Amino acid sequence: MVNQKGQPRNRVWSLTQIVHVLLQQHADPNIKSSANETCLQLACEARQWELVDMLLQHGADPALQGSPNLMSLFGDFEEREHLTELLAAHVNPKRPERLCPCFSGKTLARCHAARAQPYPKGFICRCGSGKPYGKCCLKRSALLSESWSDKEQRLAASGVWLSRPTFDPRNIDQELRRVLNAFTDYAGRIRPDEAFIQARVAAELRHVGDIIDTLSREGLGDVAFIAVMKKLSPYIVMPYENTLPKVGCEKAAKAWNDSVDLYIETIPKSIDARPRIEIEKVAKVANDGGPLYKRCEATGCMAAEGVDGAKMKKCTGCKRILYCGSACQAADWPQHKTECKNGSHPLQMLPSQAEFRAQLDGLLRESLKKIQKMQNMEEAFRGDVSAAAGISLAFTVHAIGVQQGFTSGADGVGGKS
């Protein structure tokens, strides 16, 4: 930092700017170097008066124990006079408010600590693709934001996926739809505290566990699929509705399918004697979260990918339903016409996924009925938040595992429950 002979001036300027930024972030102004030199001492030696002034503003101690008398660093009378004036101006200084590390120029209290701010489009996307956020997950309806974390003392990113609801609104009556609309309106107007968020997440995990137990106990899902669900819980693979990042979808599908492979390799034949291909057909998933082996969805058609060379094609209109050929598509058109035009056809699921979805629809209805009996909507966000968690789970079940950063279950799933 000292402007020694032959040292480029721009290096001193650059170092000075770095110190400015660190002080604005409330770095310790009295920290010492390995040579026992204070920042204030070094700034005086370099005659960086702007930095001396800023250090004093932020509480630098001119008489720090073990440091030399600052006046002894100056032989020039005018310089000593200038230092005297600066010291007099900063007796018991009140440190300036911390500036937000986003470089908005606002104080932290009035910027990211006050409320979450949009994640910059030019920043690298959090999904790991290496692309700018604006050219990656933002296009997939992922709204990322940053807010200040007191615990970690940094800006922390979080996000929500603005996808279509994963439930069919026709499965709830008109009165419950009004409750749902009131709930979502209220949730959008408040800023939940950390205690609520933690309680809601815990309740969501309990709901997932209860549904898995119900499917297992009542034999409503395939044994292989349920075994993998138990292993990877809380991750439940569901169609992603084209909202999650491509990298995340690929990792999620691989983690799930790796666990299916492990089940096949380790499960005793006395428990599951089916050939590998039969288990894969009912348990493995593609990168879209739906079946790896797609089926023709025309009524009465039994064609499936991988059988007799069959290959499925999407409807060119809605791109949400699959057929094995034009004959099946034409025959199914009277039934599909309305859904094709409004894009409401549900993405294809494995039978076990459909059973899980049905259980989740039931949880949604029960949660709405519970909230309907409350005195006001605020009650759903205080104390027992299981009803609020039931609703949020219905909206986000397709993303729950990916957002929690799960990895492949590689330590055994077969025969354990």
Q: Would the pLDDT of 171 be above 70?
A: no
- pTM here is 0.60
43-57, 128-142, 329-343, 379-393: range with lowest mean pLDDT: 128-142
Q: How many CB atoms lie within 10 A of CB 253?
A: 20
Q: What is the rounded distance in angstroms from the CA atom of residue 156 to the CA atom of residue 102? A: 11
70-79, 203-212, 238-247, 363-372: range with lowest mean pLDDT: 238-247
Q: Which candidate, 349, 339, 290, places its Cα nearest to that of 318?
A: 339
CATH 1.25.40 residue ranges in the chain? 9-89
Q: Would the pLDDT of 233 be above 80?
A: no
Partners of 132 in the β-ladder: 124
Residue 242, SS3? coil
- In order of 3, 10, 45, the CA distances from 7 in angstroms are 6, 9, 14
Q: What is the rounded distance in angstroms from the CA atom of residue 63 to the CA atom of residue 42? A: 14
DSSP codes of every residue in 340-404: HHHT-PPPP--HHHHHHHHHHHHHHHHHHHHHHTSSSGGGGGSS--HHHHHHHHHHHGGGHHHHT
DSSP codes of every residue in 96-117: PPPBPTT-SSSBGGGTTTTS-E
**124 DSSP 8-state letter:** B
Q: What is the rounded distance in angstroms from the CA atom of residue 349 to the CA atom of residue 285? A: 9
Q: Would the pLDDT of 355 be above 90?
A: yes
pLDDT in tens, 64-108: 766 668 888 888 888 989 999 999 999 888 899 999 999 899 999
Angle at 253 between CA 247 and CA 257, to 5 degrees: 145
28-42, 347-361, 389-403: range with lowest mean pLDDT: 389-403
Q: What is the rounded distance in angstroms from the CA atom of residue 347 to the CA atom of residue 244? A: 15
What's the pLDDT at 372?
Answer: 93
* 104 within 8 A of 111, measured Cβ to Cβ: yes
Q: Which candidate, 205, 268, 216, places its Cα nearest to that of 412?
A: 268
Of the segments 61-75, 229-243, 314-328, which one has the largest average pLDDT value? Answer: 314-328
Q: Would the pLDDT of 2 be above 70?
A: no
Q: Which candidate, 315, 211, 227, places its Cα nearest to that of 272?
A: 227
Place of tokens 């721009």: 10
Q: What is the rounded distance in angstroms from the CA atom of residue 326 to the CA atom of residue 178? A: 41
Q: What is the rounded distance in angstroms from the CA atom of residue 344 to the CA atom of residue 341? A: 8
**What average pLDDT does the segment 156-166 reach?**
58
142-149, strands of its sheet edge to edge: 117-118, 142-149, 154-161
Q: What is the rounded distance in angstroms from the CA atom of residue 87 to the CA atom of residue 53? A: 9
Give the contacts of 216 (CB within 8 A, at least 6 positions apart).
Answer: 226, 230, 417
Residue 160, SS3? strand
Q: What is the rounded distance in angstroms from the CA atom of residue 374 to the CA atom of residue 382? A: 11
pLDDT band at 280 (very low <50, low <70, confident <90, very high): very high
pLDDT in tens, 181-211: 899 888 888 877 778 887 887 888 889 889 9
Q: Would the pLDDT of 121 be above 50?
A: yes
Partners of 160 in the β-ladder: 143
What's the pLDDT at 9?
Answer: 60
pLDDT band at 291 (very low <50, low <70, confident <90, very high): very high
* 90 within 8 A of 57, measured Cβ to Cβ: yes
Domain over 9-89 is classified CATH 1.25.40: yes
What's the pLDDT at 208?
Answer: 86
**What average pLDDT does the segment 229-247 reach?**
75
User: Where is 222: in which H helix or E strand?
Assistant: none
What the block records as the tokens of 187 is 């949730």
* 167 within 8 A of 358, measured Cβ to Cβ: no
For 60-77, give one letter per residue: b (16+ CB within 10 A) or e.
Answer: bebeeeebeebeeebeee
More confident site: 305 or 327 = 327
* 112 within 8 A of 100, measured Cβ to Cβ: yes
* 249 within 8 A of 257, measured Cβ to Cβ: no
Q: Would the pLDDT of 319 be above 80?
A: yes
Q: Would the pLDDT of 243 be above 90?
A: no
Of the segments 169-173, 182-186, 215-219, which one has the largest average pLDDT value? Answer: 215-219
* 204 within 8 A of 400, measured Cβ to Cβ: yes
**307 DSSP 8-state letter:** S
**What average pLDDT does the segment 245-266 reach?**
87
Q: What is the rounded distance in angstroms from the CA atom of residue 280 to the CA atom of residue 290? A: 12
Question: Directed axis angle between helix 351-372 and helix 174-189, to 10°?
Answer: 80
